[in-house]
Amino acid sequence: MTRRNFGQAALAGVVLVIGMGLSLIQPERSAATAPAKAYFAGGCFWCMEEAFEKVEGVLMAVSGYMDGTLANPTYEQVSAGGTGHAESVEVTYDPAKVSYEKLLDAFWRNVDPLTSNAQFCDHGNQYRAAIFPSTPEEQKLAEASRKRLEESKKFHSPIVTQIVVATAFYPAEEYHQDFYKKNPVRYKFYKFNCGRTQRLEEVWGKP
């Protein structure tokens, strides 16, 4: 083999090795930045959608139903009670910009953790507050966040917010999605009359 041919072969080998290295690294990089999903319930899903979409790193929040016995439930069925579902939100976020722990912080700050089977002016099991972890790690983080709150002695009443493993999530009807953006006047009227902001300030203080 001539020196020139040897040099060309060596260069080709280096390029091949580098290419293989990049092909091995690339999937890890993609997986690390792939969007993730988290699930929560906190009463009216319009309000929880607004709360989470204001968190930096959250890409979108979708209103829907979770933790029930009926497949593809309608709003009328869920709001009437009896299906077991809770009004919920599916939060899609960038893990490189916001952690699941930060989402838990946002969740707690937007619910009344001392009330079961209701949130603010909305009463019934379908309006319960809950965290729906999808993985054992999320379960561990959710339970740790609740334990920290309990040990903080911030509240005189027990924390009754549920932590339940996520099941099928069913998106709500289109007219519910981004309701706070599409119908700002009606949304603000509902939120004010429901006493949501006032109660959150009583529980957590002003933000």
Q: Tens digits of per-residue pLDDT, 110-134?
A: 999 999 999 999 999 999 999 999 9
Q: Is the pLDDT of residue 27 over 70?
A: no
How far apart, in whole angstroms, are the C-alpha atoms of residue 187 and residue 204?
Answer: 22
Q: What is the pTM of this model?
A: 0.84
Top-confidence residue, 95 or 10: 95
Pick the CATH number of 33-204 from 3.40.640.10, 3.30.1060.10, 3.30.70.260, 2.60.120.200: 3.30.1060.10
How far apart, in whole angstroms, are the C-alpha atoms of residue 49 and residue 52?
Answer: 5
**Could you report the per-residue pLDDT of 36-95, keeping only the tens digit for each?**
999 999 999 999 999 999 999 999 999 999 999 999 999 999 999 989 999 999 999 999
Percent of the chain with pLDDT over 90: 83
Q: Is the pLDDT of residue 196 over 70?
A: yes
Please identify which residue in the block is written with the tokens 């959250």.
58
Q: Is the pLDDT of residue 29 over 50?
A: no
Residue 44 annotated in active site: yes
List, edge to edge, every strand of the sheet that includes 58-66: 162-163, 129-132, 36-42, 86-93, 58-66, 169-171
Set 44, 47, 121, 194: catalytic member:
44
In the beta sheet, which residues pair with residue 195? none
